[in-house]
Amino acid sequence: MYRRWILFALAIFLSIFLVACTTATTQQPQAKVTETTEIPNTKSQQLPKESAQRVVALSSLTTDIIYQLDKTKLVGITGSTLFKNDPRFKDIPHVSEGQNPPNLEKIVALKPDLVIGAEGFSNQPIQRLQQLGIPTFLTQVKSWKSLEELTKKLAKLIDADPQPLLNRYKTFLPDKLTQSPSTLVLVSQQPILAPNKNSWAGQLLAKFQAKNLAAELQGQSQIGGYVTLSAEKVVQANPEVIIVVNPPQGSSETAVLESFKKEAFWQKLQATKNNRIYIFSYYGLVNPGSIDAIEKACQQLKQDLLAAEKI
């Protein structure tokens, strides 16, 4: 169940925010990749001719960005567990819930002058809305720079000032960059999946100068930006720090960690011997999810990586 969920959740997330990065077939070091802006080609967009006043957002991250740029412009959102108990969004109509596709009739009824979708996930409803003459915009986020560029683009579309939000992003990052201990992030147990540098998680680790042991690896994982590791590879890497990702639904943190402890290789690792095992939420580290989720992940990275350095 855990394996099936994490593969499904990662596939959805990476199509929404990371948009599968093509992986090679062998685990060989690759040339360094610099951060790039990951906003789709605007030629394929149907953007509004004037500043948008009524926006429907089809992803949790764009929902949060639009709300914080100018909450008066947000007239419809997609259902998300991140906002389930958030009073900010309780009175905003939902155009979808859970894993169901957005309801086009509900969207049209809201009379939006801009619908923001997610590349790789919202393409079909966005194409249908375009046929109806509704302005649309598809987004991608798989690096810190693309998060900043997306914020600027959305601010421009709704005639808002992005600077306060961009300034807030800066507070998430460490003031002083130091080389952190060697780190391995484990997002799944069967198979063992770890993020390389082509994922949001990999990019975030790089921002904190964490030595991501999977950064340069490429493999045959079904999910772009992630590599499949054997137990032997994990033992060979022998990380000083291990970050275990707790899935958004299903097992508790304790259950996920206990499951890894049953693996024969677990007790052989220096991270285990030195008690440098940290549990992170799926949202923020693997899936950006929301601005608050990103902030919490960054705060935990600051705290745990600093603690690991002191041991």
62 closest CA partner among 150, 193, 133, 145: 150
Residues 238 and 128 both lie in one domain = no
Residues 23 and 62 both lie in one domain = no
Residues 127 and 205 both lie in one domain = no
Tell whether 163 is covered by a domain.
no
Report the alpha-carbon distance of residue 12 to residue 10 in Å, rounded. Answer: 5
In sequence order, what DSSP letters do the residues of the chain get, joined into one string? -HHHHHHHHHHHHIIIII------SS------------PPPGGG-B--SS--SSEEE-SHHHHHHHHHHHGGGEEEEE--GGGTT-GGGTTSPEEE-TTSPP-HHHHHHT--SEEEEETTTSHHHHHHHHHTT--EEEE---SHHHHHHHHHHHHHHTT---HHHHHHHHHHS-SS--PPPEEEEE-BTTTEEEE-TTSHHHHHHHHTT-EETTTT-----SSTTEEEE-HHHHHHH--SEEEEEEPSSSS-HHHHHHHHHTSTTGGGSHHHHTT-EEEEEHHHHTB---HHHHHHHHHHHHHHHHHHHH-
15 closest CA partner among 289, 245, 282, 223: 223
Tell whether 145 is covered by a domain.
no
* Confidence class for position 308, pLDDT limits 50, 70, 90: low
How many structural domains does the chain have? 2
CATH code of the domain containing 273: 3.40.50.1980
Position 243 scores a pLDDT of 96
Q: For 55-96, give the secondary structure using H, E and C.
A: EEECCHHHHHHHHHHHHHHEEEEECCHHHCCCHHHCCCCEEE
Q: Which two tokens stand for residue 104?
A: 């086009």
Per-residue pLDDT of 25-44, as tens digits, reads: 222 222 222 233 344 444 44
Residues 47 and 124 both lie in one domain = yes
Tell whether 81 is covered by a domain.
yes
Tell whether 297 is covered by a domain.
yes
Residues 14 and 74 both lie in one domain = no
- Name the domain boundary from 139, 163, 187: 139
Residues 286 and 196 both lie in one domain = yes
Residues 112 and 186 both lie in one domain = no
Per-residue pLDDT of 174-188, as tens digits, reads: 887 676 789 999 998
Report the alpha-carbon distance of residue 158 to residue 32 in Å, rounded. Answer: 36
Tell whether 292 is covered by a domain.
yes
Residues 28 and 55 both lie in one domain = no
pTM for this entry: 0.82
Residues 101 and 195 both lie in one domain = no
Residues 194 and 299 both lie in one domain = yes
Residues 109 and 189 both lie in one domain = no
Position 305 scores a pLDDT of 80
Per-residue pLDDT of 89-141, as tens digits, reads: 999 999 987 778 899 999 999 999 999 988 877 788 889 999 999 999 989 89
Tell whether 111 is covered by a domain.
yes
Give the residue numbers spanning the domain of 206. Answer: 2-33+174-310
Tell whether 168 is covered by a domain.
no
Tell whether 218 is covered by a domain.
yes
Per-residue pLDDT of 206-262, as tens digits, reads: 999 889 999 999 876 667 799 999 999 999 999 999 999 998 776 677 788 888 999
